[in-house]
Structure 1
Amino acid sequence: MRKIALTLVLAVVTGFTATASNPVENDKKEVKVSESTVTWKGYKVTGSHYGVIDLKDGALTFNNDQLTGGEFVVDMTTLVSHDLEGEYKGKLEGHLKSDDFFGVDKHATSKLVFTKVTPTGKNSYEVIGNLTIKGKTNPITFNMSVYGSKATATLKVDRSLYDVKYGSGSFFDNLGDKTIYDEFDLVVDLVF
């Protein structure tokens, strides 16, 4: 009887020890969308426009405090300009939401899913992900920094890959100073 009890106690202690020493895997941290920002900036021959767009939801995944994944959804209907006022602001926002650009009536959200995360230094990572805009998905690579409960990244997006053709020199000739460059920037500041 003593032998059985001793064996049982050893089994329980070994089980607790094994459980306690295993690291926590895939700790998913939800992003606080009301405290996070996504700033966009688009460029044309004669200048640029900038503004913000809201995250709908998102999360980063960690393993022992190392970034291993992430997934984000952006609410395209919230796209606003911050460099214009009044009538011109309304016109630009309406045009960006139209089928000429992002077609938000049919494509109300865009999505980014991390597919590979590689540490490049302390708190720094190279991220490869799949970015979906207007129902089209393409790979994208960018750098991300994580400090405590905050993360930052800058993405350069080629709109021509997502069927956003308006004013693009890649699709139309002789646009002159009406040309809008294909690449636009997204600066992402996350709080989780």
Structure 2
Amino acid sequence: MAEAQTVRVGDDEIDAMDLDIERECLRLLSLTQPVATDLRFILSVMRINTDLERIADMAKSIAKRVIAMEQLPGTFEPPATMRAMATQTRRMLDDALAALANNDRSLCNNIRKSDDQVDDMLKEMFAWAQSSIQEDVEVTAFAINMLSVARKLERIADMATNIAEDVIFVIEG
């Protein structure tokens, strides 16, 4: 629960960094009139910056759901698929940032493949929620919260894929 609170508070800092990065990119565009690789890099950084800010918003929303689930009566365990989905999504985001830092096309290709796996895990989560609710109505609120988190993780995976595609754009043009 403390980690969820930390995520919620950190979002304001990320929002401020988002604005700073955007301003700096616009300043570079207007003052240096970049061409070719430099222009592609600045434009990609602007798009990546937007994706990272959205990821922070998703993380904040996930944190709110975690806090809400902590308040639910009863004890519920997330399914293994949820844990795998969170791990895979985190790995994709880490790889996307490493690909950006190192211009690593092979990491970008791995991220694209991983996105399909996360999409499949989301489908598994929907099936889990449906069967869990049918078995025990008491699990409904937990299952709905878990589905919300799963959908947000899937969106984060999509944004990590967008970052990978932007890195490929910087590398290849």
TM-score, normalised with respect to structure 1: 0.25
Report which of the two structures shows the higher radius of gyration computed on alpha carbons. 1
Larger RCO of the pair (alpha carbons < 8 Å, separation 6+): 2
Bigger helix fraction? 2
TM-score, normalised with respect to structure 2: 0.26
